[in-house]
Homo-oligomer: A and B are copies of this chain.
Amino acid sequence: MSNRRSLLSGAQRASRRQRSAGPGRAPADTLGTLAAQYRPGWALPGGFYSDPELYRLDVERVWRSGWLFAAHSCELPNPGDYLTLQVDRDSLIVIRGEDGVVRGLHNVCRHRGSLICTESSGHAHRLVCPYHQWTYTSDGRLLACRGMPEDLDKSALGLRPLHAREVGGLIYISLAEQPAEFRSAENVLATATRPQGLTQAKVAKAMDYRVQANWKLVWENNRECFHCNVNHPQYIKANFDHYNADDATPRIKRELASAVQRGEAKWAAAGLAPTHQESGMTRFPDAERNIWFSANRTPLVDGYVSETMDGKQVAPLMGEYKEPDIGTLRIRTLPNFWNHSSCDHSVSTRLLPAGPQCTAIRVVWLVHADALEGRDYQLEKLLPFWQLTSEQDWEICERQQRGVNSSAYVPGPYSTYKEYNVDSFVQWYIKTIEARPRN
């Protein structure tokens, strides 16, 4: 009864506030106004998904502060290999130096600001600006700038650096001057990725999407499988995680327990362990403890050894695996990465913000470095499971974006059974956005 009263008044209060925040509101108050409308356990107010000022704050406090997944190590196997990516309006270079170390640099010449690398990837021992040929080393030092005064202090004109880390085949960067510590994440990622062998992988396929939805809607979608039953007919055949405390029937619970047990017995020999054994999704993130990274292994449904259309293995075993029945490994790091790995392939999703209502998404399929397309794997077997699941989600997100844009949108309550992780994501986000940036 008290629940009902607070529910009603909450919706009414939010609705009243939204209405009064009409034309003429000063942009400086955006975060304050929106944050005041937020109610824990409920969805975010609409402005969080569309307001241009709020988006600028997201870029500053999330995207220019946190650790961003940039690429896989195997995309830059040799010294001089580089790739570029775009975080909002910032173009970035990630390059492997002569010393084998991966570094990040702003892709902006210190002379007159031209982009330096114009391709999405390439190979170069020197970074040469195409405008006036200012020439930088792969660690960003200005080597040559013909035509400039002799006494120019080149040491002050290097490419502005990013922080970069490489761990277990994954490359992370940070645009912050003083980024948060990476060590805790590094430990988790190193341990989780080792048996998967991401360092001995290769890219079988990459697909790029521009999804017309705010990046947070994409994450919220990722943080629950409440929507899976109807929207992901392929995914639910292979997985248990759409069953939650409230709807995992005794039979399902038995099947899951049996799968876990089977896994435990077999995987122990290989030094693996099922780290997520309950119904429902593993809990992530955790705003209280500042947990923005996690990895876990969980069983697949009986008959499935890979997240493929029929559950069959579609490529050679990766990494240290000796047999296909090793469940799935799942990794996620906020604000922009998740990965589902089966015994034979690994699928990474990278998000990058491209506007208040646009997210640039790259989905990459990895297989063993020695696998040969046509001989060892066929793309038509490898791709459909995650291509379908991904595109189903992008469509959901775009539909939701159109809805939360409505003046009639009022945040609704999250299910404590099924949307605990969405709630956790929102709490993590609110804490992150309200914190002053570190630099």
A120 at the interface (CB under 8 A from B): no
Minimum CB–CB distance from A438 to chain B (whole Å) comes to: 12
Minimum CB–CB distance from A218 to chain B (whole Å) comes to: 13
Chain B's closest residue to A42 (CB) is B112
A430 at the interface (CB under 8 A from B): no
- In the complex where A156-B11, A231-B130, A399-B131 touch, is A147 in contact with B226 (Cβ < 8 A)? yes
A110 at the interface (CB under 8 A from B): yes
B415 x A108 contact (CB < 8 A): no
Give the interface segment out of A22-30, A95-103, A196-204.
A22-30
B27 x A408 contact (CB < 8 A): no
A239 at the interface (CB under 8 A from B): no
B56 x A91 contact (CB < 8 A): no
Chain B's closest residue to A11 (CB) is B156
B153 x A402 contact (CB < 8 A): no
Residues in B with CB closer than 8 Å to A156 are 4, 7-8, 11
Minimum CB–CB distance from A432 to chain B (whole Å) comes to: 16
Residues in B with CB closer than 8 Å to A410 are 110, 160
A115 at the interface (CB under 8 A from B): yes
A181 at the interface (CB under 8 A from B): no
A417 at the interface (CB under 8 A from B): yes
- Set B108, B118, B399, B413: member contacting A408, Cβ < 8 A: B108
**In the bound complex, what is the Cα–Cα distance between A415 and B113 (angstroms)?**
14
A207 at the interface (CB under 8 A from B): no
**In the bound complex, what is the Cα–Cα distance between A151 and B3 (angstroms)?**
8
Total A residues in contact with B, Cβ cutoff 8 Å? 80
- In the complex where A4-B156, A43-B112, A408-B108 touch, is A23 in contact with B56 (Cβ < 8 A)? yes
A183 at the interface (CB under 8 A from B): no
Residues in B with CB closer than 8 Å to A416 are 149
Per-residue CB contact flags for chain A residues 384-400 toward chain B (1 = under 8 Å, else 0) read 00000000000010011
The A115-148 residues at the B interface (CB cut-off 8 A) are: 115-116, 118, 130-133, 146-148
Residues in B with CB closer than 8 Å to A383 are none
- Set B89, B402, B415: member contacting A148, Cβ < 8 A: B415
A412 at the interface (CB under 8 A from B): yes
- Set B24, B148, B151, B403: member contacting A114, Cβ < 8 A: B403
Minimum CB–CB distance from A242 to chain B (whole Å) comes to: 10
A36 at the interface (CB under 8 A from B): no
**In the bound complex, what is the Cα–Cα distance between A411 and B109 (angstroms)?**
9
A90 at the interface (CB under 8 A from B): yes
A73 at the interface (CB under 8 A from B): no
**In the bound complex, what is the Cα–Cα distance between A30 and B247 (angstroms)?**
55
Residues in B with CB closer than 8 Å to A89 are 405-407
- Set B26, B409, B413: member contacting A113, Cβ < 8 A: B409
Residues in B with CB closer than 8 Å to A3 are 151-153
B399 x A115 contact (CB < 8 A): yes
Residues in B with CB closer than 8 Å to A278 are none
A56 x B147 contact (CB < 8 A): no
Minimum CB–CB distance from A30 to chain B (whole Å) comes to: 7
A400 x B132 contact (CB < 8 A): no
A227 at the interface (CB under 8 A from B): yes
B111 x A57 contact (CB < 8 A): no
A220 at the interface (CB under 8 A from B): yes
Residues in B with CB closer than 8 Å to A91 are 402-403, 406
A-B contact pairs, 17 of them (CB 8 A): A3-B152, A4-B156, A23-B27, A23-B56, A24-B28, A90-B406, A109-B403, A109-B412, A112-B412, A113-B403, A113-B411, A130-B396, A131-B400, A132-B226, A133-B230, A148-B417, A157-B412
On A, residues with C-beta under 8 Å from B are: 3-4, 7-8, 11, 19, 22-24, 26-28, 30, 43, 46, 53, 56-57, 60, 64, 88-91, 106-116, 118, 130-133, 146-149, 151-153, 155-157, 160, 220, 226-227, 229-231, 244, 246-247, 396, 399-400, 402-413, 415-418, 439
Q: Which 4 A-B pairs have the closest CB atoms?
A: A24-B28, A106-B408, A113-B404, A4-B153
